Amino acid sequence: MAKKKNILLIYTGGTIGMVKDYKTNSLLPFDFNNLKKKIPELNQLPCKIKTVTFKKPIDSSNMNTKYLVDIINIIQEHYQTTDGFVVLTGSDTMSYTASAISFMLKNLCKPVIFTGSQLPIGDLRTDAKENVITAIEIASANKNDEPIIKEVGLYFEYKLYRGNRTTKINSEHFDAFASPNFPHLAESGVHLYFKEHLLLKKKCSEKLIVQKTLNQNVVVLKLFPGITENTIKTILNTKDLKGVVLETFGAGNAPTNKAIINLLKEAIKKGIQIVNVTQCTTGRVNMRLYETGIMLKNIGVISGKDITTEAALAKLMYLLANKEVENTEFKKYFETSLRGEITDF
C-alpha cells in the first residue's frame, strides 16, 4: 500500500475561507482545523492534510511583498517534510501571487498549487469544495514515487494552469482564469488527466533556492491613443524607478512620436529596464514586424514575447533584486524562460 502523502494547506485569506452565518446573514472566517467536517470527501484522498493560516487573513487586494515572503517562509519551513502545498488565497490577485512565488522558488521540485473560489465555502452553490478537493488531489498526485507536478500551478474550475501563465478574466463566473498563451496542464472530469508533455521536467538533485527580496520600484505603463509626453515623462521620472512593464499595442507597437521614443531612450540610458508586453489577450510581441516596434527594439526595449503582464511584473521585480544578474545580462535573462513563463522562440 502506497504511503500517504503529506499535504500542507496554507490559507492567506479570501472568499474561500468564509462561511455564512445564516442567523445574521453575514460572512465569518472559516476554521480550517474543521476542514474535513465541512468537506468529508477529503477523507477519501490518500494523503494527510495539515493547515497553516495567516494570523490575520488578508483580502487579496492587500497582497504585497511582505505577504509573499510570509508564504515563502511557510513553504521553506515545511519543504523537507511535505510532499505538496495548496495555497488558498483571494482570486483577484492570484495570478500576480502565483507568478511571484514561481520566481522566488528556484529548483522547486514539489507542487505548489494555488486555488480559491468565487463563492464562500459554506454557500449553497459554492465552487470552493471542488477547487479545494481537486487542488489537494493534484498536490498529492505521484508517478513512480515522484510528484507529477514540480512547479507552481493554479487550479480553478476543472483546470490546472501554470501559475505564471494565468490572468483573471471574470469576476462573476466560476471559470475565472485563463492561460492565453499556454495550454492548461491538467483537467478534472470523470478522471484527473495530466498533460505530462507540457509539464516542467526537472531533475530533483539540486537544492531549493529561495529568494525573499523583490524590487518594488517598478511600474506598469499602459499606452493609449492620445497619451501625452508629459504623462510618460512624469512616470519615467518617478524617484528610484528601476523597471517598467510597457503595455503596447498589437505585436508590441508604440507611437513613433520622437519625443516619446526619446523619453524611453533616456530612461534606458539611466539604467531603467523597460519590458515590452502586448495589451492583446493572446499573441506575442514581435518588434521586428512594424516600424513602430522596430524603433523600440533599436533603443534597447526588452521583448516580453508572450508573457502576461502579471508574470512580467513579477519577473522584473525578481530579476532586479537578484544580485547574480548583472545589468548587462538583464535582457538575456528576461527574454529566457526561467520557470516556463515565456515561450523561447
Identify which of 182, 108, 195, 101 has the alpha carbon closest to the alpha carbon of residue 150: 108
Per-residue pLDDT tens over the stretch 18-44 = 777 777 777 777 777 767 777 888 888
pLDDT of residue 1: 54
pLDDT of residue 2: 67
Q: What are phi and psi of 82, to 5 degrees?
A: -120, 140
State the DSSP string of 107-124.
T--S-EEEE--SS-TTST
Contacts of 66 (CB under 8 A, 6+ apart): none
Residues spanned by CATH 3.40.50.40 within the chain? Answer: 218-334
On the 0-12 / 13-18 / 19+ scale of CB atoms within 10 A, 44 is exposed
CATH level 2 (architecture), domain 5-210: 3-Layer(aba) Sandwich (3.40)
pLDDT of residue 121: 80
CATH code of the region 218-334: 3.40.50.40
Between CA 268 and CA 146 the distance in angstroms is 45
pLDDT of residue 38: 76
Residues spanned by CATH 3.40.50.1170 within the chain? Answer: 5-210
Between CA 50 and CA 87 the distance in angstroms is 12
Helix, strand, coil fractions of the chain, as percent rounded to 5: 30, 25, 45
pLDDT of residue 122: 73
Between CA 312 and CA 342 the distance in angstroms is 9
Residues in the chain with pLDDT < 50?
Answer: none
Q: In angstroms, how far apart are the furthest CA atoms of the chain?
A: 70
Q: What are phi and psi of 6, to 5 degrees?
A: -95, 120
Catalytic residue ranges: 15
